[in-house]
Structure 1
Amino acid sequence: MSILFGTEQPDLKELFDTVETIAVIGCSSNPYRTSNHITKYLIDHGFDVIPVNPNETEVFGLKSYPSVDEIPEDVNVDIMNIFRNKKYTDETVIEIIEWADRRGQEPIIWTQLDVSTDSAKKRAEEKGLIYIKNRCIMVDHGSI
């Protein structure tokens, strides 16, 4: 994919120029949670955001889905942004990979700070998916 440079990091400007829809997995309606603040930032900067959290029904007026499987089939997701405890990262990446296979999509898997695991990264890369490791999407977007 042309947005990659080296073996690890994408060209952020090119990446964000192509992204429209971001699913935030672990999105919270609690204003004291980092996922809430970053979701608001993404919305304010023109991204279509899909909250994914089984404990939420809506966040910022947007319907929240209990899992990535519940995202409507006609929606193309450019980035799956994982905002969960690291102990759930592997199962979340497996869920994303299975979803991507069923839907014929290739979302970028983005793990927030201290969320990545080596095994999750390996799984994603074995499937040919771009995997962004332990980076804050808001900080990276704000840096371009």
Structure 2
Amino acid sequence: MAFENPSREEIKTILEQTGNIAVVGLSDKTDRTSYMVAAAMQDRGYRIIPVNPMAAGATILGETCYASLADVPDPIDMVNVFRRSEYCTEVAHEAVQAGARILWMQLGVVNMEAAAIAADAGLTVIMDRCIKVEDAIVRPVRS
């Protein structure tokens, strides 16, 4: 059976019920897409938890960066992945072990094995979508 992302209405509900987002592959470089997207999501009220072994112990967006999802001491609602597709299988296993509810692979990131691992463990899976764009569509800012 072919993979299908949740509907926009389902994505809206997911985002409304999400608080802590662990961002795997979050860069400490402000010109990187992962940083810009995470900063935008933080501005929208989400708590961003940086996960990047190359920056573990550093502070990114005012939060301590962890080497892996297993090192994060707080509950994780969503794992947002900014890694190449071939690394997502391992991330899916870690997301399941961490007790996350959602595995979100960013725009351009597709891994069917990772999706199956997460879905089989009861996680909602979203692939090849930008969380910042989806959040702006389903939760527009009202002035």
**Does TM, normalized by the shorter one, top 0.5?**
yes
Please name the residue that 1:130 is paired with. 124
Please name the residue that 2:141 is paired with. none
Post-superposition Cα deviations, 1:79-123, rounded to whole Å, max 9, x if no partner, equal: 1001111121111111222232xxxxx420000012121111111
SS in 2 for 1:139: helix
Q: Provide the TM-score with structure 1 as the length reference.
A: 0.85
Cα deviation for residue 48 of structure 1 reads: 0.8
C-alpha separation between the residues in 2 aligned to 1:99 and 1:121? 16
Please name the residue that 2:72 is paired with. 71
C-alpha separation between the residues in 1 aligned to 2:107 and 2:33? 11
Post-superposition Cα deviations, 1:50-102, rounded to whole Å, max 9, x if no partner, equal: 00001111212210001001101xx22111001111121111111222232xx
Please name the residue that 1:113 is paired with. 107
Counterpart amino acid of 1:48? R
Counterpart amino acid of 1:117? N
Please name the residue that 2:40 is paired with. 41
Matched, 1:139 2:138: no
C-alpha separation between the residues in 2 aligned to 1:60 and 1:133? 24
CA-atom RMSD, angstroms?
A: 1.3
2:20 and 2:46 in contact (8 A); partners too: yes
Please name the residue that 1:4 is paired with. none
Counterpart amino acid of 1:41? A
Unaligned runs of 5+ in 1: 1-6, 101-105
Counterpart amino acid of 2:83? R
Number of residue pairs the alignment of both structures matches:
131
2:69 and 2:98 in contact (8 A); partners too: yes
C-alpha separation between the residues in 2 aligned to 1:8 and 1:84? 19
Q: Provide the TM-score with structure 2 as the length reference.
A: 0.86
SS in 2 for 1:116: coil
C-alpha separation between the residues in 1 aligned to 2:71 and 2:95? 12
Percent identical pairs in the alignment equals 31
TM superposition outliers: structure 1 runs of 4+ over 6 Å: none
Post-superposition Cα deviations, 1:27-70, rounded to whole Å, max 9, x if no partner, equal: 01111210000010011111111000011112122100010011
SS in 2 for 1:50: strand
Are residues 60 and 76 of structure 1, via their aligned partners in 2, closer, same or farther at CA, if it must alter by over 3 Å? same
2:70 and 2:97 in contact (8 A); partners too: no
